A and B are shown apart, each in its own frame.
Chain A
Amino acid sequence: MGRPTTTSLYTTKAIIILDSEGKRLHAKYYTNDYPTAADQRKIEKTLFDKTKKMNSDIIMIDSQVTLYKNSIDTFIYLIGAADENELILSNLLSSIYEALMLLLGSVEKRTILEQYDVTVLAIDEAIDQGIILDNDPQQIASRVTKKSEGDNIPLSEQSLAQAFRTAQEQLAKSLLK
């Protein structure tokens, strides 16, 4: 039992950002543990109820290790398997947080929504389908900024990118309402 059988690099199961009322700002699930939206809502709600009062960084939910971080009016959660090394997860979470700090100035609901693309990109640069892609905040931040400034993007592609971005932002907003 409990022996670390996970010799794969798939370490994280999900990353979730919630606002101060427990509503979802961003969520990405890398496994099929919570297949439907209803299941995801449920776990998010439990997470939020358990963590809103205390600020103590770590908790076990559904026998999974969950690290969380409270920043102004948002909560960032990182879920991993029960026998995962808590410190790896904690390291990853703080890198993501620091990267976001670098990119957004301050991690709060307003900045996340205003620069939703940056948030999403940063998370994508840190975790790739459950594998830690990078845990250096500087690296993550630099890669995200280079792209969103769009120095070298050809004109045709740039407009396409912007179109996608607006579309996604719209989508996100309508989801959040």
Chain B
Amino acid sequence: MVYLVIKELANIAENVIIVTQSLSKDVNQKSDVIYRANAIRVLCKITDSSMLQGIERFLKQAIVDKNPSVSSAALVSALHLFSGNKEAVKRWANEVQEAINSKGMITQYHALGLMYQIRQHDRMAVIKLVQNYSRGALRSPLAHCMLIRYACKIMDEEDPSQRSFYDVLEGWLRHKHDMVVYEAARAICNLKDVTAKELFPAVSALQLMLVNHKPTLRFAAIRTLNKLAMTHPTAVFPCNLDMENLITDPNRSIATFAITTLLKTGNEASVDRLMKQITGFMSEISDEFKVIVIDAIRSLCLKFPAKQSLMLNFLSNVLRDEGGYEYKRAIVEAIFDIIHHIPESKEFALSHLCEFIEDCEFTKLAVRILHLLGAEGPKTATPSKYIRYIYNRVILENATVRAAAVSALTRFAIELEDLRERIQVLLTRCLDDAEDEVRDRATFSLKVLADEELRSQYRKNDYTFSWAALERNLVNYLNDERAHERPFDISTTPIITKAEEVAEKSRAKAAAQEMVAPVLKAPTAAAGGAGTRGAAPATGGDAQAGYAAAMERVPQLAVLGNLFKSSKPVELTESETEYVVTCVKHVFPEHLVFQFDAKNTLNDSLLENLHIVTSIESTDDEDASQLIQELALPIPKLAYDVPATAYIVLRRPGGVTPTATFSNVMKFIVKDCDPATGEADEEGFEDEYELEDMDVSMADYVLPSYIVDFKRSWEEIGGDNEIVETYALTNSASIKAATTQIIDALGMQAIESSSNVPDRATTHTLLLAGIFIGGVPVVARCRMAFEPSSGVTMELSVRSPDALVGQKMANAIS
């Protein structure tokens, strides 16, 4: 007990020497095992690196102690110490090695863990470790689990074709302990590019677990299968029957996983049956699970458009049930998406939504639905029936909803001649509303309606403010006391077209989805409903927004206009050199900006006036000569471990899109400094540091964009500007590798999951879509064939309204 107390106090105690003394005595006591084990743990907890040397000898002895618990205590303590004192612990490797062979099961586990920590950067050593102990020298199941993880780590790094440890993993599937079986099965499921054959034994092991009586086992198995179903639905298919039984499982988490997995693996025929089962099941689970189920249904619906009426019926039924805001929002968004992607469902879905807003307690949702009605309603066959619903809102709801309803009515009136007069009457009534906003909107609408020219302007108005920028500007305005004397200047906010807004949103959404990848979402296509304003999705993962905000703060960069695309960071140095530099390429309407993020990893030096000299190394594009360096922002001071950023701005006259390879040299003044205080010497000397070359390719000028119906977009653009090129990709080993290369080279989005290539495919068609800078859409179709003798042969056809853009894209592959 005393030990426990000391441990708790350890963080606050300053004078530990006395305690250490007495603890050391305990460690040496011959008699009692318990004392020694505990004393070691406490000792390591309170000690610091300076005193470690004093006790090092004890610890080494303890690690090889005959008693497993003493040895374990020492090993665990060493693990804790490892984060702070790598060097010291590394010296104990021999003792640890010996401890792995100890007779205590748990000691083996700890020793193995520590051994790995010590050797983890030495690949060969880890491989040896796994090879040695995979032959059954270990008895602890926990140690086996760790071993499996190490094996996975190794296989992660090597080529999918080798898989040196796959057989070992497979052997573990027959281990007598569930824990090990599961770990091995899970490891196999998580392997990169796993083939159906490799998966088979793992899936059947998991299938056995599905019918186990322990909920934990069932949960573990179904969770892994669920994840697997996202990438390899067919592999999970044999388990469908077992999973259907799990839907009625008393543990709701298991049931939810079962449902969502089934939704992913199901084929069109089984959908009906499933939906029926889900309906019974929905009322029993909590809101967050319902949201997950709704998401799964949404993606299913997009997959099987034929089933949309069934799904919509289901969605509208659940919409009427009890539920919180998040749940309702998920349903409404699902319906929005369905409307957006499957035009045939529009009328049906809209009428469901109309019924929903008849009694909807959530203002936000009502407003969004009204807006959608305004946008989509006039295009339907019988628009007049929606008017009643909307006008009901004007009578019955609160001010926000009333205002939205007035706007929706206006849209109807503008689009439809024959309804206009009747709506004008309704709007006139709104002029007496109690709320300013509603009256204002009604007045505005009437004014617009009365004038033919204004009407057509209103209809064509395709521009909106960039919401992110507007928000930023408004926040700046509010925070700046002095600015309040002047009115807010809206003209500083960039204006974008609605199409761009939609593109922006879908990207944000895609990014947000990647963030939540561990959660259960299938990678659905997710272009938000057109113009669903007011509910910009959280863009936490959107790196580009972060870059844009950072550059906005630099006055020289803020004038460049709207950021079109930011590339992923490119490393220009090895990650373990003295200076680490990464580069992000940003494309602006008329500029190209390189953002160099530099970090100094030497704690005894300080860099000053660091600037980066960029020059064109090689290019085969004559446009490149037009690039003019306009500006270079150096880093005034780069201290140890504090990252800083330098910018280079290149002008692209007339928006040319050159591709080139750039060489970069970092020039700076280096000064020695005291590692402890960070104080620098007066004297410094100039130095330079060669960075790796960097490519600017066509992909940097293309935004990946999602389109629903590739065929339609393909036909719409038409064959007039089609460019067809044929390439032989001799250095691609498979279609799969070629696909990844092409997507990288073009920077476009693969459509209809055409980026998923079966492993041994000999032919494949890849569909791509993107938006070229300037807002020009590009679609590409890429037909590939694979011959073992000649590699991959590919025919690339690019269509774009702008022939030049198409030509550029077609040439981007080399």
- Give 1 or 0 for each of B31-67: 1 = CB within 8 Å of chain A CB: 1101001100100000000000000000000000000
With CB as the reference atom, state the residue of chain B lying closest to A85. B183
Give the residues in chain B near A91, CB-CB below 8 Å.
141-142, 179
In-complex Cβ contact of A133 among B73, B105, B117, B254 (8 A):
B73
Give the residues in chain A near B156, CB-CB below 8 Å.
3
- With contacts A58-B251, A120-B4 taken as known, whether A7 is within 8 angstroms of B120 at the C-beta atoms is yes
Cβ distance B1 to chain A, nearest Cβ, rounded Å: 5
In-complex Cβ contact of B41 among A128, A148, A168 (8 A):
A128
**Is there an interface contact between A54 and B252, defined as CB atoms closer than 8 Å?**
yes
**Is there an interface contact between A56 and B149, defined as CB atoms closer than 8 Å?**
no
- With contacts A9-B79, A86-B216, A87-B220 taken as known, whether A135 is within 8 angstroms of B106 at the C-beta atoms is yes
Cβ distance A99 to chain B, nearest Cβ, rounded Å: 14
Judged by a CB distance under 8 angstroms, whether A108 is at the interface is no
**Is there an interface contact between B72 and A88, defined as CB atoms closer than 8 Å?**
no
**Is there an interface contact between B72 and A2, defined as CB atoms closer than 8 Å?**
no
In-complex Cβ contact of A152 among B32, B80, B145 (8 A):
B32
Give the residues in chain B near A6, CB-CB below 8 Å.
149
- State A124–B449 Cα separation when bound (angstroms): 76
- State A165–B251 Cα separation when bound (angstroms): 40
Judged by a CB distance under 8 angstroms, whether A60 is at the interface is yes
With CB as the reference atom, state the residue of chain B lying closest to A10. B79
- Among B202-233, those with CB < 8 Å from A are 214-217, 219-220, 223, 227
Cβ distance B52 to chain A, nearest Cβ, rounded Å: 17
In-complex Cβ contact of B216 among A57, A117, A129, A131 (8 A):
A57
**Is there an interface contact between B2 and A160, defined as CB atoms closer than 8 Å?**
yes
**Is there an interface contact between A131 and B79, defined as CB atoms closer than 8 Å?**
yes
**Is there an interface contact between B220 and A133, defined as CB atoms closer than 8 Å?**
no
- Among B64-94, those with CB < 8 Å from A are 69, 72-73, 76, 79-80
- Give 1 or 0 for each of B178-190: 1 = CB within 8 Å of chain A CB: 1100110011001
Cβ distance A130 to chain B, nearest Cβ, rounded Å: 9
Cβ distance A52 to chain B, nearest Cβ, rounded Å: 13
Give the residues in chain A near B214, CB-CB below 8 Å.
57, 90
- Among B102-131, those with CB < 8 Å from A are 105-106, 109-110, 113-114, 116-117, 120
**Is there an interface contact between A2 and B179, defined as CB atoms closer than 8 Å?**
no
Give the residues in chain A near B519, CB-CB below 8 Å.
63
Q: Which of B1, B37, B254 has the most chain A CB atoms closer than 10 A to its own CB?
A: B1
- Among A116-138, those with CB < 8 Å from B are 117, 120-121, 124, 128-129, 131-136
**Is there an interface contact between A87 and B146, defined as CB atoms closer than 8 Å?**
no
Judged by a CB distance under 8 angstroms, whether B555 is at the interface is no
- State A168–B182 Cα separation when bound (angstroms): 41
Please give the number of chain B residues whose Cβ is less than 8 angstroms from any Cβ of chain A in the complex: 58
Cβ distance A165 to chain B, nearest Cβ, rounded Å: 6
Judged by a CB distance under 8 angstroms, whether B166 is at the interface is no
**Is there an interface contact between B146 and A9, defined as CB atoms closer than 8 Å?**
yes
Judged by a CB distance under 8 angstroms, whether B518 is at the interface is yes
Judged by a CB distance under 8 angstroms, whether B263 is at the interface is no
- State A121–B445 Cα separation when bound (angstroms): 74
In-complex Cβ contact of A117 among B1, B69, B153, B286 (8 A):
B1
- With contacts A9-B79, A60-B253 taken as known, whether A161 is within 8 angstroms of B1 at the C-beta atoms is yes
> Interface residues of A toward B: which range?
35 or more
Judged by a CB distance under 8 angstroms, whether B517 is at the interface is yes
Q: Is the interface of A mostly helix, strand, loop or mixed?
A: mixed
Quick check: which of A16-24, A33-41, A139-147 contacts chain B, the rest being far away? A139-147
- With contacts A57-B216, A129-B80 taken as known, whether A1 is within 8 angstroms of B517 at the C-beta atoms is yes
**Is there an interface contact between B215 and A58, defined as CB atoms closer than 8 Å?**
yes
In-complex Cβ contact of B219 among A86, A131, A136, A152 (8 A):
A86
- State A3–B2 Cα separation when bound (angstroms): 41
Judged by a CB distance under 8 angstroms, whether B769 is at the interface is no
- State A172–B514 Cα separation when bound (angstroms): 44
- State A2–B250 Cα separation when bound (angstroms): 26
Judged by a CB distance under 8 angstroms, whether B381 is at the interface is no
With CB as the reference atom, state the residue of chain A lying closest to B181. A87
Judged by a CB distance under 8 angstroms, whether A59 is at the interface is yes
Cβ distance A4 to chain B, nearest Cβ, rounded Å: 5
Judged by a CB distance under 8 angstroms, whether A32 is at the interface is no
Judged by a CB distance under 8 angstroms, whether A102 is at the interface is no
- Give 1 or 0 for each of A143-159: 1 = CB within 8 Å of chain B CB: 10011100010000100
Cβ distance B539 to chain A, nearest Cβ, rounded Å: 19
Judged by a CB distance under 8 angstroms, whether B281 is at the interface is no
- State A57–B250 Cα separation when bound (angstroms): 11
Q: Is the interface of B mostly helix, strand, loop or mixed?
A: helix
**Is there an interface contact between B76 and A58, defined as CB atoms closer than 8 Å?**
no
**Is there an interface contact between A87 and B179, defined as CB atoms closer than 8 Å?**
yes
**Is there an interface contact between B2 and A143, defined as CB atoms closer than 8 Å?**
no
Give the residues in chain B near A121, CB-CB below 8 Å.
1, 4
- State A63–B80 Cα separation when bound (angstroms): 26
- State A161–B4 Cα separation when bound (angstroms): 10
**Is there an interface contact between A57 and B251, defined as CB atoms closer than 8 Å?**
yes
In-complex Cβ contact of A134 among B32, B38, B72, B114 (8 A):
B72
- With contacts A54-B251, A133-B76, A134-B69 taken as known, whether A143 is within 8 angstroms of B34 at the C-beta atoms is yes
Judged by a CB distance under 8 angstroms, whether B13 is at the interface is no
Judged by a CB distance under 8 angstroms, whether B152 is at the interface is yes
Cβ distance B63 to chain A, nearest Cβ, rounded Å: 15
Judged by a CB distance under 8 angstroms, whether A174 is at the interface is no
- State A71–B34 Cα separation when bound (angstroms): 29
Judged by a CB distance under 8 angstroms, whether A96 is at the interface is no
**Is there an interface contact between B216 and A9, defined as CB atoms closer than 8 Å?**
no
**Is there an interface contact between A88 and B145, defined as CB atoms closer than 8 Å?**
yes
Judged by a CB distance under 8 angstroms, whether B356 is at the interface is no
- State A129–B82 Cα separation when bound (angstroms): 14
With CB as the reference atom, state the residue of chain A lying closest to B153. A7
**Is there an interface contact between B5 and A4, defined as CB atoms closer than 8 Å?**
no
In-complex Cβ contact of B110 among A82, A131, A139 (8 A):
A131
Q: Which of B109, B114, B215, B254 has the most chain A CB atoms closer than 10 A to its own CB?
A: B215
Cβ distance B134 to chain A, nearest Cβ, rounded Å: 16
With CB as the reference atom, state the residue of chain A lying closest to B114. A9
Judged by a CB distance under 8 angstroms, whether A67 is at the interface is yes
Q: Which of A4, A82, A148, A164 has the most chain B CB atoms closer than 10 A to its own CB?
A: A4
- With contacts A3-B152, A129-B80, A131-B76 taken as known, whether A56 is within 8 angstroms of B1 at the C-beta atoms is no
**Is there an interface contact between A56 and B117, defined as CB atoms closer than 8 Å?**
no
**Is there an interface contact between A85 and B2, defined as CB atoms closer than 8 Å?**
no
- State A21–B726 Cα separation when bound (angstroms): 72
With CB as the reference atom, state the residue of chain A lying closest to B126. A7
**Is there an interface contact between B182 and A85, defined as CB atoms closer than 8 Å?**
yes
- Among B656-708, those with CB < 8 Å from A are none
With CB as the reference atom, state the residue of chain B lying closest to A117. B1
With CB as the reference atom, state the residue of chain B lying closest to A168. B5
- With contacts A58-B251, A91-B179, A117-B1 taken as known, whether A143 is within 8 angstroms of B69 at the C-beta atoms is yes
Cβ distance A102 to chain B, nearest Cβ, rounded Å: 16
Give the residues in chain B near A4, CB-CB below 8 Å.
149, 152, 186-187, 190
Judged by a CB distance under 8 angstroms, whether B150 is at the interface is yes
- With contacts A59-B253, A63-B518, A131-B110 taken as known, whether A7 is within 8 angstroms of B219 at the C-beta atoms is no
- Among B140-181, those with CB < 8 Å from A are 141-142, 145-146, 149-150, 152-153, 156, 178-179
- With contacts A85-B183, A128-B41, A136-B106 taken as known, whether A7 is within 8 angstroms of B150 at the C-beta atoms is yes
Please list 20 pairs of residues, one from A and one from B, whose beta carbons are closer than 8 Å in the complex, sorted by A's number: A2-B227, A4-B190, A7-B150, A7-B153, A8-B79, A8-B113, A9-B146, A50-B286, A56-B251, A57-B215, A57-B251, A63-B518, A85-B186, A87-B183, A88-B145, A90-B214, A91-B142, A131-B110, A160-B2, A161-B1
Known: A87-B220, A131-B113. 7 other contacts (CB 8 A): A8-B113, A57-B216, A57-B219, A58-B251, A134-B106, A160-B2, A164-B5
Give 3 closest A-B pairs by Cβ, nearest first: A56-B251, A9-B113, A86-B220
